[in-house]
Amino acid sequence: MTDGGGQGGKATIEGGVDAIVIGGAPDGLVAAAYLARAGLKTVLLEASGEIGAPYRRAAPDGEGALNGEHLFHALDPQMIDDLDLYSCGVAYAARRMGVAYFFEDGECLRLGGDLRAAAQDAEPDGDAFMAFITDAFEAASFLRPLFSGAPGANAAFKAAFADAPPRLAALAERWMAQSAEEALADYFPDGAAKTALLAEAAFRSGAPPHEAMSFSPLLARWAGEVAGLQGAVAFAEGGAGAVIDALRRAAQKAKVEFRTSSPVAKILIEKDRAAGVELETGNQLRAPVVVAAIDAETTYTRLIGPAVLDRAFQQSIAMRKPAVSTAHLHLELKGAPMDAATRADLARRIVYAPSVERIRRAFVAASNGEVPAHLIVEAVFENAFDEDAATDRQRLSVLAHPVPVSLPAGKKHRKALRDAIIAGVERFAPDISARIDAETLATAGDMAAGAGAPTRAFAAREGVYRQIARGASVTSAGSIGGLYFCGPEAQIGYGINGAAGRNAAQAALRKSVRAGAAQ
Amino acid sequence: MAATFDLLVIGDDAPSLCAAAAGAAAGATTALAATGAVTHGGPSVCDIPNFVWRRLDLQDFGLATEPVSARITLLADGETAATHRGLEDTVDALRDVDADGAALWPEMTDDMRALGETGLTVGVGGCAPKALSLIDNMRALADLGRITGSGAELIEDYVNGGPLNAHINAHALAPFGLGGVEAGSAAALPEFFDEHAWRVRAKSGARSIIGALRKACEHHGVAATASGVEKASADGARHNSILFKGGEKIRSRYIFFACPDAAEAAGYGGAGQGSPANGARAVMRIKLRDPVDPPTGDRRALFQIVDEAADLKKARNAALGGRMFERLPVEFEFTDKGDIVARTAYVPKRLQEEGEWRDWTGQDRQLLSTIVLNRLAARIDGLQDQIRKTDLKLIDRANAGEDKFADARNVVLQPRRHNAIAAAVMLIDKVLADD
């Protein structure tokens, strides 16, 4: 069902709804599915004409999803089970992807998907790599509750921290505060493994690897689990679009009512409680539970307004001046047919890891609004995972980091960014320029425009401590009863995860049960 | 058999001397190793708090201090901003130049001191003790969010632009070489507002602070060792064996650095903590033929030269990129003899030329001297004519050799702090209490 009414006519007030979810992003779908499965009549309102936008932009050939999320680092396992997502269509073409790091000097480091096993064989840094990976995975696993954003997880973690072996507690505390360069310097004097790991720590992070707390994003990533494997990277069949489709199916199965083209103008607050929403058409939809799955600034500043929120809360959710972001370039390549061996070799994550100095300079340039000369590039040959795909065409999905949050207007700046990304790609595919048949570049600004959100909502995330602090604040919803939040700020780290949507829905259901019991 | 100590403190600066004396006064057998490097080089040190003073009976060693008269920032176009130790004095001084700032200063001072009392002492780019163990508390989380953020943003929460904004940026962030945008740089603010961060100087005619602290160390039984560590490594289950360059050898349970400068000078590989990577520091002593009039007429103030707040970020980026920055932030003060000691924390560790990294040359040092002198001369009338001799020292230069402490255990390094003496003595107490 879609909502078109109200415009030019008399505004209506609609009731009989238990829960409203604002935003058809993955966490919105997750929250809606949970609420509906619990028996709440749930309506999901999406501003655009399509669920999952901007996570679902058509590729030039009309297939697949260009959303900047071509891989999965952490997909909430409990959500997968609870929503039975495997039966809704989630399938992995690669569960534990290998990785090939390319360096400035043309050297390449290839690692298997199980980092702990791969570390053992990594030459010439095997021992150091093994010691580092063992410590890092242990610390990441220990810190996992902290990164979950679940209510009560912090208190549980505090108890676990008090009882933890002293070495583990000290290591976790130190690594949460250290720069990536400092953390790695304790294990590696230099070398390919160190360069690769520094690039990993800096990739998609707002914190340059020489700055304090810049190691923690890597720990947060390695704390995640996808397809039952900690720290793994997976490629879903059909890409991220297929996962969103699966989430949509799960929500549909639970009888969520979708209303696209229904932008919300206001969240109705009555007596310090959410009472529903007012659409831009002027129509009101009333419900005792409202879940916001859009960015915090839009939720609190635009849809609720500062008059209802105290100053300390506004200060705590403010996210100002993001420094850098990640750009996505999708390439359609024509070229020689792929044989099975080539396809197998391409079926991995490919990373161009510039030197430490280059990465530092890239962060400086990007934060000054300039396109860096060298970018960290992560690329995936998407149809290398598809045995039925045409063999004489390739689809290459590329993420490049760090790039300016806002590019100045004009084609020349976009071209400069595009050329810098291609320069990174050419480190592992030297002949690529001649083979490009079609391409699509998406910056943070493009993605924000697609979502109707401020650009900063698509900027690289700041340090993990700040994310934890902000996450706790935004999910507290400014103490407005009946309002729950699962926008991007509720999640620690990047990528599609789903835990924030589950947390918001479960919090709403707990409160509903309590309220029901009290009545 | 090598002499065995509970604690070896390495460093020549006031925090190191206080830490060594405090350790000895607390009953730990303590040795002190000089690094032979200039790790401070100015007449003022951060405040020596009462609890340190009482514990070490510092008055018995001729120590007599007075606070620097003001923190003054010399901005572009002759503009200045000043704050004083007393709240009311600052409000009075600001009232005429920045009424909004005058109104907000007490609130900011209260807020920052409250933030400092949370225990979330992130240290500037260093460690975050207690952060994880406090993480369940909503108030602590909100504070954690603020303290782990950007210093420039935290300042803007109170003072949006103008001379006072630049002044706080300059005095709170510039001593650490911070640009203000770094995660965790906000941690410098609560410390900056800590009363023990206010710098003090020896009273005119009194013994130098360093001299008095050395006497205190002697009195409390701190053993002076040779200087120059050759190698420190774990020895047995609890101790380290420390070999000095002259061949002397001692054993110590803990090795303690009260500031990253001392650690760097001693060859500790982890000394990069607490300062932006690749950022070095420079101290320049300028001897004058005849005294010059200080800016604003205040000879016992602590000055910062910063054209505008945004220059800190630019200077830091230049240092990280291996370049000199023309509008270099420079801190300076006058000695009792009328000489000038200037410092800057925005110096590249190595320089970059045509994409290649290289070490400092004599020409580079000359260029840096010229930049510093130009910055001073633009603010101090008649300075160029009175310069008799200059001496530039670079600190924190990249360790070319191996980490001499790589095989040691229980090495404690305090990050760079505004209130370094109070923090060092409290850290020593913690180390000894945990033992």
> B407 with B271: CB under 8 angstroms?
no
- Position A4 scores a pLDDT of 45
Structure tokens at A177: 């505060």
A-B Cβ pairs (cutoff 8 Å, strict) = 128
CA distances from A468 to A93, A148, A212 (A): 32, 9, 16
Q: Is residue A102 part of a domain?
A: no
> A182 with A192: CB under 8 angstroms?
no
End residue of a domain, out of A162, A195, A225: A225
Q: Sign of dihedral through CA atoms A267, A269, A274, A278?
A: negative
Residues A68-72, mean pLDDT to the nearest whole number: 80
Predicted TM-score (pTM) of this structure = 0.85
Structure tokens at B50: 């009462």
Task: Answer whether A476 sits within 8 Å of B138, measured CB to CB.
Answer: yes
Greater confidence (A34 vs B101) lies with: A34
Q: What amino acid occupies position A274?
A: A
In this structure, are A312 and A342 located in the same domain?
Answer: no
B145, B269, B357 ranked by CB distance to A316: nearest: B145
Task: Answer whether A185 sits within 8 Å of B183, measured CB to CB.
Answer: no
For residue A361, list chain B residues with Cβ-Cβ distance below 8 A: 320-321
State how far the Cα of B29 lies from the Cα of A52, in Å rounded to an integer. 67
Nearest chain B residue to A181 by CA: give it: B277
Q: State the best of B104, B111, B141, B316 to mutate against chain A, taking most chain A CBs within 10 Å.
A: B141
Q: Is residue A236 part of a domain?
A: no
B161 touching A (Cβ < 8 Å): no
Backbone φ and ψ for A432, nearest 5 degrees, come out as -70, -35
Q: What is the CA radius of gyration of chain A?
A: 23
Binned at pLDDT 50, 70 and 90, residue A166 comes out as: confident
- Position B236 scores a pLDDT of 85
State how far the Cα of A115 lies from the Cα of A120, in Å rounded to an integer. 9
Mind spelling out the 3-state secondary structure of chain B? CCEEEEEEEECCCHHHHHHHHHHHHCCCCEEEECCCCCCCCCCEEECCCHHHHHHHCHHHHCCCEEECCCEEEECHHHCEEEECCCHHHHHHHHHCCCHHHHHHHHHHHHHHHHHHCCCCCCCCCCCCCCCCCCCCCHHHHHHHHHHCCCHHHHHHCCCCCHHHHHHHHHHHHHHHCCCCCCCCHHHHHHHHHCHHHCEEEECCCCCCHHHHHHHHHHHCCCEECCCCEEEEEEECCCEEEEEECCCCEEEEEEEEECCHHHHHHHCCHHHHCCCCCCEEEEEEEEEECCCCCCHHHCCCCEEEECCCCHHHHHHHHHHHCCCCCCCCCEEEEECCCCCEEEEEEEEECCEEECCEEECCCHHHHHHHHHHHHHHHHCCCCCHHHHEEEEEEEEECCCCCCCCCCCECCCEEECCCCCCHHHHHHHHHHHHHHHC
- The gap between the terminal CA atoms of chain A, to the nearest Å, is 33
Asked if pLDDT for residue A443 goes beyond 50, the answer is yes
Nearest chain A residue to B407 by CA: give it: A186
Task: Answer whether B184 sits within 8 Å of A177, measured CB to CB.
Answer: yes
Binned at pLDDT 50, 70 and 90, residue A519 comes out as: very low
In this structure, are A357 and A428 located in the same domain?
Answer: yes
In chain A, the percentage of residues whose pLDDT exceeds 70 is 90
A262 closest CA partner among A5, A46, A453: A46
The 3-state DSSP composition of chain A as helix, strand, coil percent (nearest 5) reads: 45, 20, 35
In this structure, are A312 and A290 located in the same domain?
Answer: yes
Binned at pLDDT 50, 70 and 90, residue A152 comes out as: confident
- Position A51 scores a pLDDT of 82
Q: Is residue A108 part of a domain?
A: no
Q: What is the CA radius of gyration of chain B?
A: 21
Long-range contacts of B84-87, Cβ-Cβ distance < 8 Å, separation of 24 or more = B85/B195, B85/B198
Q: Whose structure tokens read 């009560």? A: A152
A287 closest CA partner among A13, A16, A500, A27: A16
A154, A185, A364 ranked by CB distance to B135: nearest: A154
Q: Are strands A19-22 and A483-485 parallel, antiparallel or unpaired?
A: unpaired
> A418 with A439: CB under 8 angstroms?
yes
Q: What residues pair up with B334 in beta bridges, in sequence order?
A: B340
Nearest chain A residue to B318 by CA: give it: A364
In which region does residue B81 sit, left (phi positive, over 0), alpha (psi from -120 to 50) or beta (all else)? beta
For residue A466, list chain B residues with Cβ-Cβ distance below 8 A: 145, 148-149, 183
Which CATH number characterizes residue A54's domain? 3.50.50.60
Domain count of the fold of chain A = 3
B400 touching A (Cβ < 8 Å): no
Omega cis (within 30) before A54:
yes
Q: Among A5-14, A154-163, A493-502, name the one with the lowest average pLDDT.
A: A5-14
Q: How far is A32 from chain B (nearest CA, A)?
A: 27
Residues A125-152, mean pLDDT to the nearest whole number: 88
Cβ atoms < 10 Å from Cβ of A366: 22
B122, B125, B133 ranked by CB distance to A158: nearest: B133
Task: Answer whether B141 sits within 8 Å of A469, measured CB to CB.
Answer: yes
Q: Is residue A496 part of a domain?
A: yes
Q: Average per-residue pLDDT in chain A?
A: 87
Q: Whose structure tokens read 């997976």? A: A234
State how far the Cα of A444 lies from the Cα of A464, in Å rounded to an integer. 20
End residue of a domain, out of A193, A225, A257: A225
Structure tokens at A36: 């509906």
In this structure, are A364 and A427 located in the same domain?
Answer: yes
For residue A367, list chain B residues with Cβ-Cβ distance below 8 A: 181
In this structure, are A124 and A220 located in the same domain?
Answer: yes
Asked if pLDDT for residue A105 goes beyond 80, the answer is yes
B277 touching A (Cβ < 8 Å): yes
For residue B309, list chain A residues with Cβ-Cβ distance below 8 A: none
B220 closest CA partner among B18, B379, B369: B18
In this structure, are A44 and A123 located in the same domain?
Answer: no
Asked if pLDDT for residue A27 goes beyond 60, the answer is yes
> B90 with B83: CB under 8 angstroms?
yes
Task: Answer whether A154 sits within 8 Å of B131, measured CB to CB.
Answer: no
Binned at pLDDT 50, 70 and 90, residue A67 comes out as: low
Taking the mean position of all CA atoms in its chain, how far away is CA A194?
A: 25
A211 touching B (Cβ < 8 Å): yes
Task: Answer whether B270 sits within 8 Å of A185, measured CB to CB.
Answer: yes
B141, B182, B269 ranked by CB distance to A211: nearest: B182
For residue A357, list chain B residues with Cβ-Cβ distance below 8 A: 352, 357
Q: Is residue A286 part of a domain?
A: yes
HSE at residue B130, side-chain half, CA atoms within 13 A, is 15
Nearest chain B residue to A320 by CA: give it: B153
Residues A169-188, mean pLDDT to the nearest whole number: 87
Q: How far is B218 from chain A (nearest CA, A)?
A: 35
In this structure, are A48 and A78 located in the same domain?
Answer: yes
- Position B26 scores a pLDDT of 94
Q: Is residue A295 part of a domain?
A: yes
In this structure, are A345 and A305 located in the same domain?
Answer: no
The parts of chain B modelled with pLDDT lower than 70 are: 1, 37-41, 119-131, 134, 269-278, 396-402, 435
Taking the mean position of all CA atoms in its chain, how far away is CA B130?
A: 23
CA distances from B350 to A30, A394, B179, B285, B401 (A): 51, 44, 18, 22, 15
Residues 293-312 on A with a CB inside 8 Å of B are 312
> B10 with B257: CB under 8 angstroms?
yes
- Position B271 scores a pLDDT of 42
Cβ atoms < 10 Å from Cβ of B281: 26
State how far the Cα of B212 lies from the Cα of B220, in Å rounded to an integer. 12
Asked if pLDDT for residue A313 goes beyond 90, the answer is no
In this structure, are A330 and A423 located in the same domain?
Answer: yes
Host domain of residue A173? 115-225
State how far the Cα of B435 lies from the Cα of A99, in Å rounded to an integer. 45
Q: Is residue A96 part of a domain?
A: no
Task: Answer whether A173 sits within 8 Å of B278, measured CB to CB.
Answer: no
A177 touching B (Cβ < 8 Å): yes
Q: How far is A360 from chain B (nearest CA, A)?
A: 8
Long-range contacts of B366-372, Cβ-Cβ distance < 8 Å, separation of 24 or more = B367/B324, B368/B282, B368/B324, B368/B392, B369/B284, B371/B324, B371/B325, B371/B326, B371/B328, B372/B282, B372/B284, B372/B328, B372/B330, B372/B342, B372/B344
Q: How far is A357 from chain B (nearest CA, A)?
A: 8
* pLDDT tens string A461-486: 878 888 888 888 888 887 899 999 99
Task: Answer whether A473 sits within 8 Å of B142, measured CB to CB.
Answer: yes
Residues 459-488 on A with a CB inside 8 Å of B are 462-463, 465-466, 468-470, 472-473, 476
Task: Answer whether A462 sits within 8 Å of B149, measured CB to CB.
Answer: yes
B253 closest CA partner among B271, B273, B232, B225: B232
- Position A50 scores a pLDDT of 81
Q: How far is A182 from chain B (nearest CA, A)?
A: 7
B125, B132, B141 ranked by CB distance to A161: nearest: B132
Taking the mean position of all CA atoms in its chain, how far away is CA B298?
A: 22
A359 closest CA partner among A378, A372, A371, A370: A372
B146, B183, B321 ranked by CB distance to A207: nearest: B183
> A232 with A226: CB under 8 angstroms?
yes
End residue of a domain, out of A159, A194, A225: A225
> B132 with A172: CB under 8 angstroms?
yes
- Position B433 scores a pLDDT of 85
* pLDDT tens string A350-404: 999 999 889 988 998 999 899 999 999 999 988 888 777 666 778 889 999 999 9
Q: What amino acid occupies position A115?
A: L
Task: Answer whether A463 sits within 8 Å of B184, measured CB to CB.
Answer: yes
Burial of A501 (0-12, 13-18, 19+ CB in 10 A): buried
B128, B277, B357 ranked by CB distance to A177: nearest: B128
A212, A361, A364 ranked by CB distance to B183: nearest: A212
Nearest chain B residue to A208 by CA: give it: B182
B144 touching A (Cβ < 8 Å): yes
| DSSP state at residue A297 | I
In this structure, are A295 and A248 located in the same domain?
Answer: yes
- Position B413 scores a pLDDT of 85
- Position A219 scores a pLDDT of 95
In this structure, are A213 and A154 located in the same domain?
Answer: yes
For residue A185, list chain B residues with Cβ-Cβ distance below 8 A: 269-270, 272
B148 touching A (Cβ < 8 Å): yes
Helices (H), A164-262: 166-177, 180-185, 192-202, 216-223, 239-253
Q: Is residue A234 part of a domain?
A: no
In this structure, are A292 and A352 located in the same domain?
Answer: no
B135, B144, B153 ranked by CB distance to A157: nearest: B135
A391 touching B (Cβ < 8 Å): no
ipTM attached to this prediction:
0.78
Asked if pLDDT for residue A58 goes beyond 90, the answer is no
- Position A320 scores a pLDDT of 67
* pLDDT tens string B392-434: 988 765 554 567 888 898 888 888 889 899 989 999 998 888 7
